[in-house]
Structure 1
């Protein structure tokens, strides 16, 4: 136990004080990464649940589950006998239909509203033509014996005195009218209404009373709206027609059955879904259960068979397909922004390593072991990661009401390990006892080995990008019912953006050498000095890759958002084929895209600033020596700008172009037509704001140059000479 490396407290505290700026920046990156990784999945899940509820609500009657029964068959010819148990049969059918409901449907559907309704009759004695109605007896959902009404005039319909219909003469039926219907018919208590239909049936109705619903929101009034108010339609000829329903009570329902032919009274029920009970966890099971019930799988042991029908299964299937597209796109955007934040963590770790290089080397040379040094750095990194990550989880919980750890754990592991790993590798290399080879052949072999390692690493990135693009092209982004996506195709845009940065690293030295050759042939020393410095530092891997990748992904996200969000004008015959993404998911994806583009743009600027900070000491030393040879502050400003220009301008422009290409491919590969609502792929839209990352990079370059020039101006000549 004596050999166990304990962390040296003063060293840890000293490094924390000396590097509090970069450490605070690292904490901000970790906080953002954890916040986005923890809050996005539950927010998207809530949006998906809301989309299902909205789809069921907007579908209206198409989302209802209807059940059809039948009354006992009887002869249409006299004598016909009044059945006083008709209302009880309606209630019993409702209980049977509810008992046969599949278990998966019970949490979604409430008790049914049962109706006995006649065929349509035309009013022949009304004040105006074009009036039609149905006789309706309805039972409220649940334990309610019927619709709850207040009789403002008269009373509930009663039964006829006779019990046997012996002739074909119209049978008297007492009915109730709602206030709007009574006003339309200009009818009151005791008035008679004559009616007939195209089957040569005649009705004689007596108005027993005028009612008003006690609770207009009650299910029975939503199902049978004609009992509340008439519906008026005007055809192309300008002729208006009004339809409504008249209310039969439990006492007058038997008379209504006698008044029409036996097949003229239908027995139906309606289960209305509770939209809030639908979510992504039960939507598929609800769909499967509905399909089984519609196929006749649910049958009663006795009594007439019941037939179920619903359009909710179609609505849910369509909405689930659209939600999968939205979640797939959200996964692509989430992976893009998390990858950008991961690159930023590498950059902050590299900056810290550059700042601590001398201290780490001297500590190592004084006898500190690598395990002890790694432990000290791990204590610092883990503490910082837990503090920033905890704050991110707290804010995610405040924003989303919950948080997901699926992507948080990888983020925390990366944040906790990349800093110590960079620093330990730097300390090990700086104090390595392995001597450099003396002969030319050995040095060449060593250089070839290093190049082969780099080529192998780059080949892995390129192969992953190609594999991801192939997977995306073949099967798209597959989203499982659990909400999990196939990660390889979802990573395709990110891997392609990183690959573009890797390939640019191969090309930028050629470009810089060409610029250097032109500078040597030109007049003046400033272009030559700027080009030489750019050739020395312009091809540093992390800043260039991060700038290209983050700019590309920012442009990609903004272009996808604009393309998917554009209004599609369709001809009337194609309007029914348009199925836009549900509003809740569309809004969630749009908001995520805006946040991701903002973060990615800021990360591109951060990459430029951190890259400039890492190379600032060497640049300052060079410029200090040149100042002793007569270099002016204005000259140093131009040299600094020229050195950093390849990362800002070339990296930004390449990233912008790559982002546009990625968005162009995404129009088809990510099924953006589903989000835009059209049947065909929408045209690519690259909004003006997509140019913002390049503009901000150039502004950041000007800011870095101004700050460095200001700092260099404060140095006195003695400091410069000592440097």
Structure 2
């Protein structure tokens, strides 16, 4: 026991290095998977919580024609609506029951046209009964709640104060409403109410019951609602036949109860309900289930799988590098104990005994380091230990020292050397074949993994890419390192040949020492770690730059103002932006997601962008995308003032050039005249953009052509009314918010989009992991340099001491040491930088970085300046090692150093 302790004290610092590497990697491999799970849960919850429109599960059921009874009382409503809503939760699958809240039930009829003196242009009236555990709580300011059938078969309803003021109605008034087929429905206003809690979720079923809303273009349509009671719903059903009344049960999704692990079951159950809604046991002839939850979860899970595999690529590379560092440390430890190992072998200790003794010492060191790493990982990210990754690191740390010690002891055994030249040549060939076989195997596996990763990407039909694909960059780095190692001796030989012509002995001695002391394992380790650091730097730089480009792609300007439906009021917003200081350019347009296209085989729908080419081109000129020349061609070919019919000049996709397509726009069919290829314009990453080609037309010319094709002038202007305004300039976002407040439009600034994207849990977590891996990889690379220098330090000290006896000055001795140690790290770091830069260029697409950046296409690779970090750190480490060794040599006595031992 005392001998083992003395041996450990003599080799304390290599053991401490091993312990530090093990603790670091155990902490990372323990904490990072848990952190990824938390980020995945946060991403799934954010995707559902921020969904617009909401991801609620909506169940609809019609009563059916001929099933109404106007004399039925409140019991009919309770049975057909309230009781169905109460039972709905019991019929849901358990996985959905845990994430869906209590339903908000409503029974509403079709839109009715209504006109009053206060609303002479007319509006739409929607009658509805609402229930969410009970009818909504209201306070009647006039009259009272609606009861049963009114006089002359009128339908009793209650109106909110805001709706009553819009219609100019009060308690006791009778409103005449018309159905779509011209039928008349008499509506009796029994009272006017105020909501006790306007924020009650019951009102979310039909918000227009509380507050009127308006939509439309040049002609605004006002939508109002009337509140039915349990007693008046049967009357409304009878009055509204044959159109009937539709029951709607809206089940809100509680995002707080969602997580990534259960999202797969939730997704499948929602899809199953949409396909087979009968299992809900909702009465009615036409039961349907609709929800965006399955689409949102599919998208979120795809992003999570991609991010996890991106993280696995980084973490696997770091684990491989750390494993190689442990091998280097174990090899150094075995070298330092080579004399002791020869002694114990000479005394009869078996190789198994050597391995067992080293394993016992290693187990103590690794056990303590593992405990420390688990404590750090648990402190950083509390949770259950992720044993698979941790055990992989611990296994390498436990096996490496005994293996290296056993190999060193075995080499100490006396061996018979063949005396015949033929046998010696055969032995050399065997060693060469073994070496080449290993290198070829590594290269083949690396090539296969890389090809598979490029073909499959980070996400496959069965889930995230497997561990072999995640290890592809590390395997490529190892194969490149072995190939590059073969180039080191010729390079040093060439440098040595040139050094022989030097008038001083320093360069010759340095290169001669470098040629004899270079080792393959530290070199390969440095290449792998340098590749990892470069890859991480390039990934971080590409992601940050891609997010900025994605903000321009998604917004198209510094700010964009949009409305749900086209509105002429957006022109007022554009005018306010144009007149404001700090706004450089403004453009107005109409974006039609899907329009029918005729006359071209294989293309049925297109995405139409109707803009004013001049202002839009001037705006794009102030963005990174620049103004495409095709917009000028479109402006020259367009004629907004023409009055006759004719084809509409358009920029079309390349596959439509040379054809004569026709576009269905509103109620007319317009023939297109392709005048050029549609440029790649900024647009958000939507399904419409991904699926449909883009057609760009002049908005004013479109209005003229639509009018000539048969639309009334007012209708032609209405169908080309804008729904989007873009603006660039330092004050554009602030001005847009103020101007859009009166138009009821949505405002999205590029800075807001970029901030949201960078705050995304998946994107921010991945970038943090990449930076952490780069820092850890750099620290491990510096550790390898120190370990490699320590392995050759005794021989170097004796060689430099001899050279000093022969007249070499101390300063020149330091330069010789620097020349000996510097070439391999510099060559390996430079090779790693090149390999990492090439890798990120080939893997940016397969790694799906576009999911991190928010771009439609794969981002362009950006190499930040700190990709050269390995070169600088390794050179600085070598310099520090040389300075430390030179300081130690100043205290040496040459006689003591040169004494024969």
TM-score computed with the length of structure 2 as normaliser:
0.72
Please list, as runs of the form range in 1=range in 2, the aligned pairs for 1:361-400 lying within 5 A after superposition.
361-400=342-381
Q: Contact conserved, 2:818 with 2:878, CA < 8 A, in 1?
A: yes
How big is the shift at 1:389?
1.1
Tell me if 1:576 matches 2:686: yes
Contact 1:51 1:582 in 2 (8 A): no
The 5 A counterparts of 1:92-131 are 92-95=83-86, 97-121=88-112, 124-125=115-116, 127=118
Q: How far apart, in 1, do the equivalents of 2:349 and 2:476 lie? A: 42
**Equivalent-residue separation in structure 2 for 1:428 and 1:495 (angstroms):** 29
Higher strand share: 2
2:269 to 260, 283, 289: 289
CA contact (8 A) 1:648 1:697 kept: yes
Q: Does the CA contact (< 8 Å) of 2:61 and 2:283 recur in 1?
A: no
Say whether residues 1:333 and 2:314 are aligned partners.
yes
Q: Match for residue 168 of structure 1?
A: none
> 1:382: Cα distance to partner?
0.8
Question: Partners of 1:607 and 1:424 in 2: how far apart?
Answer: 22
Report if aligned partners of 1:500, 1:658 keep a CA contact under 8 Å in 2.
Answer: yes
Residue 554, structure 1, aligned to residue 554, structure 2: no
Of structures 1 and 2, the one scoring higher in RCO (CA 8 A, sep 6+) is 1
Distance 1:120 1:226 in 2: 12
Residue 224 in 1 paired to residue 206 in 2? yes
Question: Residues 544, 301 of structure 1: CA spacing in aligned structure 2 closer, same or farther, 3 A cutoff?
Answer: closer
Q: 1:597 to 1:156 in 2, by over 3 A?
A: farther
Counting only pairs closer than 5 Å after superposition, residues 498-577 of structure 1 correspond to structure 2 as: 498-538=478-518, 540-565=519-544, 566-567=546-547, 568=550, 569-570=552-553, 571=681, 573=683, 575-577=685-687
C-alpha offsets along residues 597-649 of structure 1, whole Å, 9 cap, x if unaligned? Answer: 11112222221121111111111110011111111111011111111122222
Q: Match for 1:51 among 43, 54, 59?
A: 43
Answer whether contact 2:538 2:840 (CA < 8 A) is retained.
yes
> Which residue of structure 2 lines up, in the alignment, with residue 454 of structure 1?
435
Q: Would you say 1:174 and 2:157 are equivalent positions?
A: yes
Change (3 A) 1:236 1:172: closer
Q: Is the 8 A contact 2:73 2:230 kept in 1?
A: no
Aligned-partner Cα distance in 2 for 1:121–1:93: 27
Query: Is 1:74 equivalent to 2:66 in the alignment?
Result: yes
Cα deviations across residues 625-680 of structure 1 (Å, max 9, x unaligned)?
11111111110111111111222221111110000000010022323333333332
1:367-418 deviations in whole A, cap 9, x for unaligned?
A: 4443333222111111111111122222222333222111111211110110
From 590, 610, 635, the equivalent of 2:812 is 635
Deviates more, 1:668-677 or 1:617-626: 668-677
1:65 aligns with 57
1:265 to 211, 226, 245: 245
Partner Cα separation in structure 2 for residue 608 and residue 13 of structure 1? 27
Secondary structure of 2:139's counterpart equals strand
**Bigger CA drift: 659-668 or 469-478?**
469-478
Match for residue 20 of structure 2 among 15, 28, 32: 28
Q: How does 1:398-437 map to 2 (within 5 A)?
A: 398-402=379-383, 403-430=385-412, 432-437=413-418
Aligned-partner SS, 2:259: coil
Q: Does 1:681 align with 2:858?
A: yes
Q: CA deviation at 1:45?
A: 2.2
CA contact (8 A) 1:81 1:258 kept: no
Alpha-carbon distance change, 607 to 232 in structure 1, aligned in 2, over 3 angstroms: farther
C-alpha separation in 2, matches of 1:127 and 1:591: 60
Aligned pairs, how many?
Answer: 696
TM-score, normalised to structure 1's length?
Answer: 0.88
Can you list the C-alpha shifts for 1:17-39, whole angstroms capped at 9, x where unaligned? 22222211111100111112222
Shift, 1:550, TM fit = 0.7
Partner Cα distance (2:429, 2:16) in 1: 39
Name which of 417, 423, 447 aligns with 1:466: 447
Check whether the contact 1:547–1:647 (CA below 8 A) recurs between aligned residues: no
SS in 1 for 2:886: helix
Shift of 1:207: 5.7
Q: Which residue of 2 aligns with 1:659?
A: 836
SS in structure 2 of the partner of residue 510 of structure 1: helix
Question: Residue 158 of structure 1: which of 135, 142, 146 is its match?
Answer: 146
1:512–1:470 CA distance, 2 compared to 1 (3 A)? same
1:697 to 2:874 alignment: yes
> Is contact 2:453–2:846 with CA below 8 Å preserved after alignment?
yes
Paired residues of 2:149 and 2:155 also in contact (CA < 8 A): no
- In 2, Cα distance between equivalents of 1:24 and 1:523: 44
Equivalent position SS for 2:260: coil
Q: What do residues 542-570 of structure 1 show as CA deviations (whole Å, max 9, x unaligned)?
A: 11111111111211122123323413233
Shift of 1:83: 4.8
Cα pair distance change 1:11/1:705, threshold 3 Å: same
CA shift for structure 1 position 71: 2.4
User: How far has the Cα of 1:300 moved from its partner?
Assistant: 6.8
SS at match of 1:406: helix
The structural deviation recorded for 1:103 is 4.2
Query: How far did residue 154 of structure 1 move?
Result: 5.3
Match of 1:722 in 2: 899
Question: Which of these residues, 321, 344, 360, is aligned with residue 325 of structure 2?
Answer: 344
Q: CA deviation at 1:419?
A: 0.8
Would you say the 8 A contact 1:126–1:193 is kept in 2?
no
- In the alignment, the residues of structure 1 paired with residue 143 and residue 349 of structure 2 have an alpha-carbon distance, to the nearest angstrom, of 99
Unaligned runs of 5+ in 2: 554-680, 691-756
Instruction: Write out per-residue CA displacement over residues 205-252 of structure 1, whole angstroms, 9 at most, x where no aligned residue.
Output: 426243334482x5423443334544455x554x76654534333233
* Aligned partner (choices 10, 13, 21) of residue 18 of structure 1: 10
> CA RMSD, aligned part only?
3.0
Q: Deviations over 1:413-466 (max 9, x none)?
A: 110110121112212222x12233445444433333333332222222112112
Partner of 2:752: none
Is there any run of 5+ residues in structure 1 with no aligned partner, and where?
Answer: 1-8, 166-170
CA distance in 2, matches of 1:301, 1:138: 21
